[in-house]
Amino acid sequence: MATRITLRPGRLTLPLLRQAYEQPVRVVIAPVVWKQVAASAATVTALAAGDEAVYGVNTGFGLLAKQRISKPDLSELQRRLVLSHAVGTGPLLRDEVVRLVMVLKIASLARGHSGVRKQVIEALAKLLNAGVYPCIPSKGSVGASGDLAPLAHLSALLLGVGEARVGGRVLPAMAALKAAGLKPLTLAAKEGLALLNGTQVSTALALAGLFAAEDVFSAAIVAGALSGDAMLASDTPFDRRIHEVRGQPGQAAVAKMLGALTRGSAIRKSHVDCDRVQDPYSLRCQPQVMGACLDVIGFAAGVFLREANAVSDNPLVFPREGEILSGGNFHAQPIAMASDALATAIAEIGSLSERRIALLVDANLSTLPAFLVAKPGLNSGFMILQVTAAALASENKSLAHPASVDSLPTSANQEDHVSMATFAARRLGDMADNTAGIVAVELMGAAQGVDFRQPLKTSAKLQEAMGAIRARVRFLDQDRFLAPDLAAAKDLVASGWFRRFLGFAATPWRGP
């Protein structure tokens, strides 16, 4: 059953957006918005009736902005704009992402600076509430002038063109509209442009990447604590005094998390007076590395949330002054650059986890059986699981290359600098999936290592994590087919289950 949420444009929160991403929703638009929406649409209508050239209202688009359009053709101009721009390609965006795109587009239009009528916004809400998700190809946007091609595919459905998924089935547009109790819309002046212009696809993909990054971060913190206990690592590096004198908030927060997770471990107490001076960096420097990742996640969350609440089409309507102003809010450079930063964090979370896996399988460093299995030689144990993790970590290094530094001019050099935000955001999902696989391997290996320390027990919190792992992956006493185990552990990581240990919510990080 869909969850009811109230959209208050300009006041969206990350928990609300995560909810809309993770499950079907029924949106109710706060009534307070309609006065501004009506005034904005009336401003467009008045200017369209006049003789002044207004971009996108009675002119062509892009390099064709100097071409005046006659009044009888203004509605047809908007229809042709939508149809001509629906030229995306590649696999379709997942329903979860499309649902988030629709929420963001509704919220942006309802701010009342886009000049669309109430019935257009309500039509989008009806589609969303009926679970009718436009089929949107994932490729074809450069992130300026907005996400034109993908948003055109969304908008075409309102005209009765294209396809939509309903209950997992692909239906032609007219049948999909009927399922939502709608008929095709006839667009008024500027409405097609308002629907197409905007950063909602890039932002939805970025938010999906952010939510996945939070999930893998949380799992990696638990995995790092569990690996440290399995390898008899010291908890001295988590001492708050070390982190206070540096002053990095994420670092201090991660040290506190790790200390809380390992507190009370009998394994730790068993080697408190050992002669080991320092652990390898992947154990000892977890607060420094993962803390930096947490700070980047918080930075990206702030950028994405601001953009989720933004009006990002062009031109913008200011009904109080009776003006329409052309600008560049459609340029998604903030999303592109924040996505690039988040990509480095996702890659580093996986990179550090892979290094701990390498320690776990190395008997000389871990003091555990070679490759975490009895009778090594006859059994290969975790040998190739570590290879899989290495492959995923290496792939993420390539994917982490910044997209925002690239630009190719479009529209005959009228749009001469673009953001590439859509790809910058879209690749975050692939990277988080890779990191989820790496962390899943570490959780399996760390649990194996802790079991080898019996009868000593780990901390109460880590025993809870062990229980979740062991409910899905049993102890490896001899070689077996491990692909289902890895898939089960990866599903646990991606589910967000480990967030409970950190109190880690979808909110921008603001320090300890």
Q: Which residues are catalytically annotated? A: 55
* Residue 156: Cβ-neighbour burial (10 angstroms; 0-12, 13-18, 19+): buried
Collapsing DSSP to helix, strand or coil, 327 comes out as coil
* 323 SS3 class: strand
Q: In whole angstroms, give the CA distance from residue 449 to residue 155.
A: 54
For residue 201 the two structure tokens come to: 């696809």
Q: How many helices (H) and strands (E) does the chain have?
A: 20, 9
**Residue 25: what are its φ and ψ, rounded to 5°?**
-135, 155
Q: What string of H, E and C letters represents the secondary structure of 228-254? A: HHHCCCCCHHHCHHHHHCCCCHHHHHH
Cross-strand partners of 379: 376
6 phi and psi angles, rounded to 5 deg: -100, 125
**Can you spell out the DSSP letters for 85-109?**
H---EEEEPPHHHHHHHHHHHHHHH
412: Cα within 13 Å, side-chain hemisphere:
5
Longest dimension (CA), the chain: 87
CA distances, 365 to each of 141, 222, 376 (Å): 48, 21, 16
Residue 220 to residue 492: CA distance in whole angstroms: 12
| Cα angle: 468, vertex 492, 422; to 5 degrees | 160
Q: What is the DSSP letter of 187?
A: P
Residue whose C-alpha is closest to residue 435's, from 144, 212, 159: 212
Q: How far apart are CA 84 and CA 174, in angstroms?
A: 19
Contact assessment for residue 20 and residue 129, using Cβ atoms and an 8 Å cutoff: no
Per the CB < 8 A criterion, the answer to whether 201 and 222 are in contact is no
Strand, coil or helix: 176:
helix
E-strand stretches of 292-331: 316-318, 323-325
Burial of 247: CB neighbours in 10 Å, binned 0-12, 13-18, 19+: exposed
Distance of alpha carbon 347 from its chain centroid, rounded?
A: 14
Q: Give the Cα separation of 275 and 63 in Å (integer).
A: 72
Beta strands 25-29 and 132-134 are: unpaired
